[in-house]
């Protein structure tokens, strides 16, 4: 396992193992606006790549559940740690 730095904009999406809870459940990870995402985010806690997925998503994903975080939670983490979405830097 690699050591993840959440502030590293160059973080790469981790190799998938096939054991990720989101496999074949994409629709649960991009719920309709207003839907509860708590259960989906909790399922990520069983994921073997959760930390690296979160680090990547902080820099790349505005929507959906990634790395046990909701879109709103990542927005707060970006503010707290001064992280800007990659596509907004260009
Ligand atoms: S941590 Fe990432 S890869 Fe793992 S289940 Fe959650 S969204 Fe999928």
Residue 34's pLDDT is 54
Question: What pLDDT digit, counting tens, does each position of 11-50 carry?
Answer: 888 899 999 999 988 888 887 755 667 888 889 999 999 9
As given in the structure block, the two tokens for residue 63 are 């929507």
CA of 89 to the centre of ligand 1 (A): 25
How do the domains of the chain map onto residue ranges?
26-89
- pTM as predicted: 0.86
Given ligand 1 and candidates 14, 28, 53, which is best to mutate, with the most ligand atoms within 8 Å of its CB? 53
Pocket lining: 48 vs ligand 1, CB cutoff 6 Å: no
**Cα distance between residue 54 and residue 44, in whole Å:** 10
**Cα distance between residue 39 and residue 46, in whole Å:** 12
Nearest residue (by CA) to ligand 1, atom 7, is 66
**Cα distance between residue 20 and residue 9, in whole Å:** 23
> Which residues is 69 bridged to in the sheet?
66
Nearest residue (by CA) to ligand 1, atom 8, is 22
**What number of other Cβ atoms are within 10 A of residue 68's Cβ?**
19
């Amino acid at each position: 396992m690699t050591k993840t730095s959440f502030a590293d904009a160059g973080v790469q999406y981790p190799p998938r193992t096939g054991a990720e809870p989101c496999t074949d459940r994409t629709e649960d990870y991009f719920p309709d606006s207003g839907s509860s995402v708590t259960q989906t985010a909790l399922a990520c806690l069983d994921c073997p790549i959760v930390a690296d997925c979160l680090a990547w998503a902080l820099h790349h994903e505005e929507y959906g559940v990634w790395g046990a975080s909701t879109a709103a939670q990542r927005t707060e983490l970006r503010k707290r740690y001064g992280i800007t979405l990659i596509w907004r830097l260009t």
